[in-house]
Amino acid sequence: MTKHLALSIVAPHGENIARGIKTLEVRSWQPASLPLKNILIVENERYLNAEGDVDPNGRAVAIVDVSHVEPWLPTEVEAACSSGWQPGFFAWRLENVRPILGNHRVIAARKLYEVEFSD
């Protein structure tokens, strides 16, 4: 088992990242430092809104790198697989996407968090 920094994504967007369809992740916050390498993308079924909120039914779907984060632009709605644009959000550029095959259960949590995962 290896410790990974993880980011949870509500379904179906974790799979969209793994397939290369979703190339931007939109968040209301920015990471403390960049680049972020080997981030485990964990897909789960519901939004985690409250501090300490977790979903034990997450699934590891990909490992990605985030080289830069910039203000989200109205022209980037499609790349984010979003239904619309809102100001004040940040676009995380997802690169070097490595899909994870199989059904690997991993806890989903808020923000960036650490998990044990065999890759």
Do 42 and 17 contact (CB within 8 A), yes or no?
no
Q: Among 59-63, 83-87, 113-117, whose mean pLDDT is lowest?
A: 113-117
| Per-residue pLDDT reduced to its tens digit, 18-55 | 999 999 999 999 999 999 999 999 999 999 999 899 99
Task: Tell me the C-alpha distance between 6 and 53, whole Å.
Answer: 15
Q: What are the residue boundaries of the structural domains of the chain, listed by start?
A: 2-25+34-68+94-114
Q: What percent of the chain has pLDDT over 90?
A: 91
Look up the pTM and report it: 0.95
* Rg, the chain, Cα only: 13
Identify the band that residue 1 occupies on the pLDDT scale cut at 50, 70 and 90. Answer: confident
